[in-house]
């Protein structure tokens, strides 16, 4: 084997891509030829540096922070606002049914003389437009419910007062949630 041919095969020899015959021929050649032997030694040290990542890798401190940065961005992008659409509808449905329950309580359970003086609801009307269109934020929900007298409304309010149904109803299937909703509506 001549030097030009040997040098042309060094990249493949380096990574073990040659046939057994070619591999042996190169090995014999660089054992005899100082120039090709030196060239291969240099190529091997270059490959070692690249394999160690010294050409492209930042320090370990960068990689120790990297997973946290990625997971933070993932958690933001999968926050409740971006949960599957049927969950958002369900959350809205729970809230709207709760509001309906409160209205029923006020109409049929609350003593009539309570309407003689302005009650909490009269002082603070429920902004139904934002409830129906987008649903309230947790803060809005808590603020709204916190301003009302909820003592008469039982389980519905307990559920709503948790503000986040996904914490109130952990690990429930859609069917189970439907049953809970049905029970809530029957209670009201």
Partner 1 sequence: MPADEELLRRARDNDTNAFEQLVRRYMRQVYATCFAVVNSHFDADDAAQQTFIAAYTKLSTFEGRSSFGTWLIRIAVNQSRTILRRRKSRAFIGLVDDPPDPRPDILSELSARRDERNLKEAVLRLPEKQRLSVVLRLNQGLPFARISEILSISEGAARTNYHYGIQKIMRDISKAENNDNGGN
Which of 49, 155, 179, 185 binds partner 1 (CB under 8 A)? It is 49
Interface stretch with partner 1, choices 29-37, 63-71, 97-105, 129-137 (CB under 8 A):
63-71
Beta carbon of residue 42, minimum distance to partner 1 (angstroms, whole number): 7
* DSSP secondary structure, the chain, as one string: --HHHHHHHHHHHHTT-S-HHHHHHHHHHHHH-HHHHHHHHHHHHHHHHHHTTTTT---HHHHHHHHHHHHHHHHHHTSGGGS-HHHHHHHHHHHHHHHHHHHHIIIIIS-GGGGTS--HHHHS---HHHHHHT---HHHHHHHHHTS--TTSHHHHHHHHTS-HHHHSTT--HHHHHHHHHHHHHH-
Tell me the per-residue interface mask from 122 to 141 with partner 1, x by CB under 8 A, - otherwise: --------------------
- Does the footprint of partner 1 cover residue 177 (CB under 8 A)? no
Q: Which of 19, 20, 59, 107 binds partner 1 (CB under 8 A)?
A: 59
Our finding on whether 43 is near partner 1 (CB under 8 A) is yes
Interface with partner 1 includes 54 (CB under 8 A)?
Answer: yes
Ramachandran assignment for 2, one of left (phi > 0), alpha (psi -120 to 50 degrees), beta (any other): beta
Taking CB under 8 A as the rule, which mask of x and - marks residues 72-111 in contact with partner 1?
A: -xxx-xx---------------------------------
At 73, list the tokens: 């961005």
Q: Whole-number minimum distance, CB 68 to partner 1, in Å? A: 9
Q: Does 155 bind partner 1 (CB under 8 A)?
A: no
Residue ranges that bind partner 1, judged by CB under 8 A = 10-12, 14-15, 17, 39, 42-43, 46-47, 49-51, 53-59, 62-63, 66-67, 69-71, 73-75, 77-78
């Amino acid at each position: 084997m001549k030097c030009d041919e040997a040098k042309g095969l060094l990249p493949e020899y380096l990574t073990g891509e040659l046939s057994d015959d070619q591999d042996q021929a190169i090995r014999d050649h660089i054992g005899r030829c100082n120039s090709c032997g030196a060239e291969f030694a240099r190529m091997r040290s270059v490959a070692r540096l690249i394999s160690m990542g010294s050409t492209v890798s930042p320090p370990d401190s960068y990689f120790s922070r990297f997973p946290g940065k990625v997971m933070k961005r993932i958690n933001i992008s999968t926050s409740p606002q971006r949960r599957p659409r049927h969950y958002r509808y369900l959350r809205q449905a729970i809230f709207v049914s709760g509001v309906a329950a409160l209205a029923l309580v006020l109409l049929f359970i609350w003593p009539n003389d309570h309407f003689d003086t302005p009650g909490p609801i009269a002082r603070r009307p429920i902004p139904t437009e934002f409830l129906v269109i987008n649903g309230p934020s947790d803060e809005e929900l808590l603020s709204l419910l916190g301003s009302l007298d909820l003592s008469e409304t039982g389980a519905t309010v307990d559920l709503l007062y948790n503000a986040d149904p996904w914490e109130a109803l952990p690990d429930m299937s859609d069917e189970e949630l439907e049953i809970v909703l049905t029970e809530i509506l029957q209670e009201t």
